[in-house]
């Protein structure tokens, strides 16, 4: 009787660990520590990142992505940033008079904080293998407009943020 209980416990633990390992191969939780994606994502939001999406598909306009940067945290580790995909390979981007143009068309951006994108950027083409990403809180976002971040190499993208788990009153899919 005791031996069969132990075997059942061991099976349960092994299956649980296997399931946890499989899940972590495909998704990853992350805590947002900055304001650069406000109002879409707020500081201390707890998000789930789909790590497999971009192994199958390419990033699309409007996707919210997490990527590795060359910026360092206070303890010397490389920072991961969360931003929105504005340009994909081949897109021509320009920022003038506080608005963003993609391929010659004014970009409608109802998700940004305010209605102004600071900084002028001459016509720039997104090269193959890269994306151009910006935060929704344009005045307070260090993103592809800055030489410190620049365009993001496809291989630096960790995954797509798709689900908010916290705060509980905001649980749901990210748009």
Q: What dihedral angle (degrees, nearest 10) is formed by the CA atoms of 48, 116, 89, 127?
A: -120
Pair of tokens at residue 149: 């971040």
Looking at 4, 16, 36, 141, which residue is catalytic?
36
Give CA–CA dist 24/27, Å, rounded. 5
Asked about 83 being catalytic, the answer comes back as yes
What is the Cα–Cα distance from 88 to 127, expressed in whole angstroms? 8
Question: Is 36 a residue of the active site?
Answer: yes
* DSSP three-state, residue 149: coil
Distance of CA 113 to the CA centre of its chain: 17
Catalytic residue among 4, 79, 83, 153: 83
Q: How far is CA 139 from CA 3, 65, 121, in A?
A: 64, 19, 15
* Gap between the Cα atoms of 141 and 81, Å rounded: 10
- CA-to-CA dists, residue 106 to 97, 146, 170, angstroms: 11, 21, 30
Q: Which residues are catalytic?
A: 36, 83
């Amino acid at each position: 009787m005791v031996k069969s209980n132990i075997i059942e416990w061991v099976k349960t633990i092994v299956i649980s660990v296997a399931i946890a390992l499989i899940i972590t191969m495909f998704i990853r939780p992350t805590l947002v520590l900055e304001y650069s994606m406000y109002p879409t994502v707020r500081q201390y939001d707890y998000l789930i990142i789909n790590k497999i999406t971009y192994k199958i598909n390419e990033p699309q306009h409007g996707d919210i992505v997490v990527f590795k940067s060359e910026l360092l945290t206070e303890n010397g580790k490389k920072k991961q940033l969360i931003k929105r995909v504005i340009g994909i390979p081949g897109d021509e981007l320009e920022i003038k008079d506080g608005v963003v143009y993609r391929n010659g068309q004014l970009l409608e951006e109802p998700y940004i904080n305010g209605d102004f994108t600071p900084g002028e950027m001459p016509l720039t083409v997104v090269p193959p293998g890269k994306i151009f990403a910006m935060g929704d809180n344009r005045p307070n976002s260090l993103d592809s407009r800055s030489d410190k971040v620049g365009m993001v190499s496809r291989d630096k993208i960790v995954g797509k943020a798709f689900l908010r788990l916290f705060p509980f009153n905001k649980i749901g899919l990210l748009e």
